A = this chain, B = another copy of it.
């Protein structure tokens, strides 16, 4: 993992109250998924967490005995996706991305190491997918990782069209509790036989 500039991805969310969520549309997806995962854990539906953001600690002060204060650190590029866990006995692994773009999903916001990681998830028999939100429409799609990776690797363009997601993705219903019931889609796609 290399140290990178990680401009404003984290801190704005922390200071963000529930009431002004809509003014920070770009950061809502992560909060919605975290709320949903907390709900899934609470009702013992699944055990899925967001991994902590990796930080390269350079210097730690000890202003008092046994009290460690990190005074110099940098955000690192994660080597994996953001979310993983277990559901119905299966390993679950996914990455969430959102775009304000109305007609295109820019491929560049998916990191190459995330693609590599999701390929490995498939290789080892896990369930891997992307959750992609088009914030302009407030539409959120779940897309099977192998399918989306194929689209990314086959195109010569720098983006995938919104209509591709309408055709190949599965729209996730938004609600109050849970905010984003993506496991309903996971049931449909990955547990077909058990459901029927």
Contacts and interface: CB of A to CB of B under 8 A. Distances in A.
Interface of A: 5-8, 10-11, 14, 41, 44, 46-47, 49, 51-55, 57, 60, 66-76, 78-80, 84-93, 117, 120-121, 123-126
A124 B47 contact: yes
10 contacts: A5-B66, A11-B57, A47-B124, A51-B52, A52-B78, A55-B73, A68-B74, A70-B70, A84-B84, A89-B126
Contacts of A51: 51-52
B7 A68 contact: yes
Given A47-B120, A57-B10, A75 B70 contact: yes
B91 A85 contact: yes
Contacts of A74: 68-70
A72 B70 contact: yes
A41 B120 CA distance: 9
B75 A72 contact: no
A70 B55 CA distance: 9
Contacts of A72: 69-71
Nearest to A68: B6
Contact of A53 (B41, B52, B79, B91): B52
B73 A121 contact: no
Contacts of A57: 10-11, 14, 55
Contacts of A126: 47, 86, 89, 91
Contact of A73 (B41, B67, B73, B78): B73
Nearest to A127: B86
